[in-house]
Amino acid sequence: MFSNWFSGDDLERYRTSPHKQRIDAIASSLLRLKYASEVIRQHLHEWLRFSRTLDAKEATPLPAPTAEPVRQYVAERVAGCSASRSRVLRASVRIFLEADEQGRFRRRVCCPPSTPPWFGPILTLYLEFVRNHRGLSQKTARKYIQKLSAFAQYLEDADVAQLSCITPGHVRDFYENAGHVGPRRSYGSTLRVFFRWAAVQGWVADSLGDAVPRPRQYRHVNLPDVLSAAEVERILAAVDQSTALGRRDYAILLLAARYGLRPCDIRQLTLDDIDWRAGRIDLRQLKTGRPLALPLLHDVAQALSGYVRDGRPASSDRTVFLRHCAPFEPFAPENNLTANMRGALQRAGLAGRTGRRGMYLFRHTLATRLLAGGRPLKTIADVLGHASTDTTYGYTRVDLAGLRTVAISEEEVSR
């Protein structure tokens, strides 16, 4: 089926390979997903090379991607390669081993954290518990896996291979400076909850959770980082809307600038959420689960329709914003659209600014501008989708004009 993609000796090896049917099925899947021809060609040649190695070792059935022969092969292949070339080689091997009989495979957005074998079953039980009894979301589950796997890997490096051997010293050392990356403050609550669960199972002491430091934290310590009105328009104007990718990024940035939408809500926005005739956007916020109704502003409607009509890749998926390289699908749940924002800042000549560089910069800016315009906190909370005005209250710290009106004069202090 793919004979014209090979030449010379590789052509004969492909035709006689016992894995030819598997190679054809996976390559056909890549074609259906509209992968670039050069990418498919690279995968085809790597599959043929890898399959020859399997034949030489008489590996039947196919080994797991984590098997030692596979690890050894990959290590030899990526030695001396660039980072991008290494990613292609690793992906080729994984796809070849994980694909089903129809050539379908799961796209892996990022490498899963390395988890020691002894900790894997424990982590599975714990995740099952928190999903069933605490309603753990998928996003939070991924954070738990990343943090607990990092802790387990630290224990492995410290020659600890069971929970009962964990000491308060291990916990504190990991928390303070494991891997020389500085204090892991965000790991505190994750470890404490895990230790409480493990104590109920009888695997660790009840007091182990107390070994996790509890640094005192104060709300509203730092001022929200904001842009000026001129900087917002400068960022939007710098986007090249003559390309499909530019039209997509412009629509994304405009949603963040005009409504202060969270990246997760922009990412999950669907065509069904937009009522073009009524001029409304109705969505359910991913973070709070609360409905949010917004007016469809004229410039936002133009940006969205321009992208959907002349820029969005053809797809049966109802999500508005898609990747513009194969496979054409929605952004991954881990994607907070930071790259889109940083690219916009770069084009606008603001890449060197201090402070935030993510999409939340627009959210903070909008809240501050609404407050400076005299809008009530309840109105601002409704626009931003805050469940409580207590969250919105934090933005009053940067309303300097409003603070001056309630400031106590020197005369009043001296009385």
φ/ψ of 6, rounded to 5, equals -125, 165
| Torsion sign (Cα): 198, 199, 202, 208 | positive
Whole-number pLDDT of residue 368:
85
Distance CA 37, CA 30 (A): 9
pLDDT band at 296 (very low <50, low <70, confident <90, very high): very high
394 neighbors 377 (Cβ within 8 angstroms)? no
The model's pTM = 0.74
Distance CA 290, CA 284 (A): 6
Strand partners, 180: none
Whole-number pLDDT of residue 198:
94
% pLDDT > 90, the chain: 49
- Residue 295, amino acid: P
Token pair belonging to 315 = 């797809």
Edge-to-edge order in the sheet of strand 291-295: 274-275, 280-284, 291-295
Does the pLDDT of residue 215 top 80, yes or no? no
204 neighbors 162 (Cβ within 8 angstroms)? no
Whole-number pLDDT of residue 293:
92
Whole-number pLDDT of residue 413:
60
| Residue tagged 């204090």 (tokens) | 183
Domains of the chain: 3-98 (no CATH), 120-211 (1.10.150), 229-356 (1.10.443.10)
Computed on alpha carbons and rounded to an integer, the radius of gyration of the chain in Å comes to 27
Distance CA 410, CA 406 (A): 13
252 neighbors 321 (Cβ within 8 angstroms)? yes
Whole-number pLDDT of residue 348:
94
336-364 mean pLDDT:
89
Does the pLDDT of residue 138 top 90, yes or no? no
> How is 272-327 classified by DSSP, letter by letter?
GGEETTTTEEEEE-TTT--EEEEE--HHHHHHHHHHHHTTSPP-S--BS-B-SSSS
Per-residue pLDDT tens digits for 140-192 = 888 888 889 989 988 988 899 999 999 999 988 888 765 545 556 678 888 99
Per-residue pLDDT tens digits for 226-263 = 889 999 999 999 999 999 999 999 999 999 999 999 99
356-360 mean pLDDT:
85
pLDDT band at 396 (very low <50, low <70, confident <90, very high): low
| Torsion sign (Cα): 183, 111, 144, 283 | positive
Distance CA 130, CA 121 (A): 15
Distance CA 121, CA 119 (A): 6
